[in-house]
């Protein structure tokens, strides 16, 4: 593509979209294009969109509309929309936005290179949105990674659950798992490139299944655990209904699998859970938390909560509030219900007024802040194994890394530590972050104990007794 030299990708939404953007960037770089940090300077701009809530959709659409109206004034020769909005709205987007050249669906992204060539050569505007149930596999691609430390690896596409509020199955299609060998090969390449952490991605990784190998998600974790050079394995998202004993055992026994799990509950009222089609009760969810905490005591558990689902009464909401107090998640993503056309729940009356949704959300946020603060305070004085990710956003002089339990820690240290696991003593704790100091060599006797306790407190927490 001689006339095109540079590209920029704007990404909204979940980590699967992040990974899709990395794959698209890899494709564009293989065609000779160079990444530029500003969309205004790029020949090719891709906006990778999310429509999970109305707010997300408005943000993405607003950005595309801005870029489309600025297109004539800038460098942009090809403006493309990918991701869940592209899948959902297809051709309609070309009609709505005359300066958009390409709309590319969620299972068509591997064709990005040829499609852009076609747009440039023919001057046509193109909609490439295939049936989402047609599996399109890229194999192991050259991927342009945006993080130097965390390697994202999509292990399955789509979702079969059709929770009644959720648009994802409509935009990502049915579940398809990548073969174990392909995932392992990609992880091996990451290790060769110097990555020490991988995040295995899927909308519901617990239902991963490689038919040929008869391997489920716990088996996949065991296979990835064997890859030399990788130190940490994470995964998102786990559906509580598919969280098996075998998976809990895998977290407890595989040394690289980190002690953290994102386990979205959505609501605490059994009536609401039924109407959401989540297939578990509040009691079953609490039992699952007990099993996880019993087997992996240092595990950090996070969740997603929706307030104001259609017909959620005050009493239903109190059940969610009560569950928050009992579950004591390390942190929670909390949302007001937003009807998504095409989903089952969007056929029901959005009965909870906005003001009431806001009030319920605020109560949840206040409670969760308190719980997160209390839980993190328990880490004060402990030494944590921290994988350094980057310089801190707030201060160039500081580094940001994460504990195995996925908590962000800010501390002073040289940038040469980025990508390394170091020991940090926690000196201050807040609801969302921890502060600490790098443990000096003089304390290396403690280092020897880090990670050595394979049973129970396998987490790299070492009490210093101070």
Name the site residues for ligand SAH (rule: CB under 6 A): 52-53, 165-166, 168, 203-204, 237, 239, 264, 266, 304, 306, 335, 337-338, 340
Give CA torsion, residues 267, 270, 272, 277, to 10 deg: 90
Q: Do you find a cis peptide bond into 237, omega within 30 degrees of 0?
A: yes
The DSSP 8-state label assigned to residue 220 in this structure reads H
Enumerate binding residues for ligand F3S (CB under 6 A). Answer: 13-14, 16-17, 50-52, 83-84, 167-168, 171-172
Interaction between residue 333 and ligand SF4 (CB under 6 A): no
The answer to whether residues 190 and 198 touch, using CB atoms and an 8 Å cutoff, is: yes
Residue nearest to ligand F3S according to CB distances in the complex: 13
Nearer to ligand F3S, 205 or 292 (CB): 205
Least separation, in Å, of the C-beta of 261 and ligand SF4?
Answer: 15
| CA angle 222–217–247, rounded 5-degree value | 80
Nearer to ligand F3S, 60 or 424 (CB): 60
Using CA atoms, how far apart are residues 259 and 255, in angstroms rounded to an integer? 10
Half-sphere exposure (Cβ direction) of 404: Cα atoms closer than 13 Å: 27
Least separation, in Å, of the C-beta of 11 and ligand F3S?
Answer: 9
Nearer to ligand F3S, 17 or 75 (CB): 17
Q: Which does 169 bind (CB under 5 to 8 A by kind): ligand F3S, ligand SAH, ligand SF4, none?
A: ligand SF4
Q: What is the three-class DSSP state of 425?
A: strand
Q: Which does 208 bind (CB under 5 to 8 A by kind): ligand SF4, ligand F3S, ligand SAH, none?
A: none
Q: Which does 84 bind (CB under 5 to 8 A by kind): ligand F3S, ligand SAH, ligand SF4, none?
A: ligand F3S
Interaction between residue 161 and ligand SF4 (CB under 6 A): yes
Strand order in the sheet with 300-307: 260-262, 300-307, 331-336
Strands 462-463 and 382-391: antiparallel
Least separation, in Å, of the C-beta of 338 and ligand SF4?
Answer: 13
Least separation, in Å, of the C-beta of 237 and ligand SAH?
Answer: 4
Q: Which stretch binds ligand SF4 (CB under 6 A): 164-172, 294-302, 322-330, 370-378?
A: 164-172
Q: What is the three-class DSSP state of 139?
A: coil
Phi and psi torsions of 196, nearest 5°: -110, -5
Q: Which does 238 bind (CB under 5 to 8 A by kind): ligand F3S, ligand SF4, ligand SAH, none?
A: none
Size of the site for ligand SF4 (CB under 6 A): 10
Least separation, in Å, of the C-beta of 163 and ligand F3S?
Answer: 13
Please, is 408 exposed, middle or buried when counting C-beta atoms within 10 Å of its C-beta (0-12, 13-18, 19+)? middle
Nearer to ligand SF4, 100 or 301 (CB): 301
Nearer to ligand SAH, 175 or 197 (CB): 175
Least separation, in Å, of the C-beta of 357 and ligand SAH?
Answer: 10
The answer to whether residues 425 and 434 touch, using CB atoms and an 8 Å cutoff, is: no
Interaction between residue 275 and ligand SF4 (CB under 6 A): no
Nearer to ligand SF4, 195 or 329 (CB): 329
Q: Give the DSSP H/E element, type plus range, for residue 320.
A: helix 314-327
Interaction between residue 168 and ligand SF4 (CB under 6 A): yes
Give CA torsion, residues 366, 367, 370, 372, to 10 deg: -110
Interaction between residue 239 and ligand SF4 (CB under 6 A): yes
| CA angle 385–387–389, rounded 5-degree value | 150
Q: What is the three-class DSSP state of 329?
A: coil
Binding site for ligand SF4 (CB under 6 A): 159, 161-163, 166, 168-169, 203-204, 239
């Amino acid at each position: 593509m001689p006339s095109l030299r540079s590209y920029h990708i704007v990404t909204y939404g979940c980590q699967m979209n992040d990974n899709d953007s990395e794959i698209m960037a890899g494709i564009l770089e293989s065609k000779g294009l160079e990444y530029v940090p500003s969309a205004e300077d790029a020949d090719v701009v891709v906006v990778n969109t999310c429509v999970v809530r109305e707010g997300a959709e408005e943000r993405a659409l607003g950005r595309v509309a801005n870029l489309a109206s600025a297109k004539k004034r800038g460098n942009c020769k090809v403006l493309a929309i990918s991701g869940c909005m592209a899948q959902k709205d297809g051709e309609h987007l070309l009609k709505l936005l005359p300066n958009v050249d390409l709309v590319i669906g969620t299972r068509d992204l591997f064709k990005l290179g040829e499609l852009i060539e076609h747009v440039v050569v023919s001057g046509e505007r193109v909609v490439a949105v295939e049936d989402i149930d047609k599996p399109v596999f890229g194999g192991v691609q050259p991927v342009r990674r945006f993080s130097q430390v965390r390697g994202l690896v999509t292990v399955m596409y789509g979702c079969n659950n059709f929770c009644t509020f959720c648009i994802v199955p409509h935009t990502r299609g049915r579940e398809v798992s990548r073969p174990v060998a392909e995932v392992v090969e990609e992880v091996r390449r990451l290790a060769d490139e110097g990555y020490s952490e991988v995040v295995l991605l899927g909308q519901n990784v617990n239902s991963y299944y490689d038919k040929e190998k008869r391997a489920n998600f716990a088996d996949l974790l065991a296979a990835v655990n064997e890859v030399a050079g990788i130190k940490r394995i994470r995964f998102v998202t786990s559906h509580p209904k598919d969280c098996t004993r075998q998976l809990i055992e895998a977290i407890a026994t595989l040394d690289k699998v980190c002690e953290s799990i994102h386990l979205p509950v959505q609501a605490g009222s059994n009536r609401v859970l039924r109407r959401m089609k989540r297939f578990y009760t509040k009691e079953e969810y609490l039992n699952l938390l007990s099993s996880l905490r019993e087997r992996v005591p240092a595990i950090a558990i996070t969740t997603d909560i929706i307030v104001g689902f259609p017909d959620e009464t005050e009493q239903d909401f109190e059940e969610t509030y009560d569950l928050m107090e009992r579950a004591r998640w390390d942190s929670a993503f909390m949302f007001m219900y937003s009807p998504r056309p095409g989903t089952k729940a969007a056929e029901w009356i959005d009965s909870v007024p906005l003001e009431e949704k806001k009030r319920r959300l605020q109560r949840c946020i206040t409670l969760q802040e308190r719980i997160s603060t209390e839980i993190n305070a328990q880490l004060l004085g402990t030494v944590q194994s921290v994988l350094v990710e980057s310089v801190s956003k707030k201060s160039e002089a500081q580094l940001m890394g994460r504990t195995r339990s996925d908590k962000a820690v800010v501390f002073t240290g040289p940038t040469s530590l980025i990508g390394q696991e170091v020991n940090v003593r926690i000196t201050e704790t807040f609801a969302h972050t921890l502060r600490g100091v790098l443990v000096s060599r003089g304390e290396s006797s403690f280092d020897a104990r880090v990670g050595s306790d394979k049973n129970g407190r396998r987490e790299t927490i070492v009490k210093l007794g101070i």
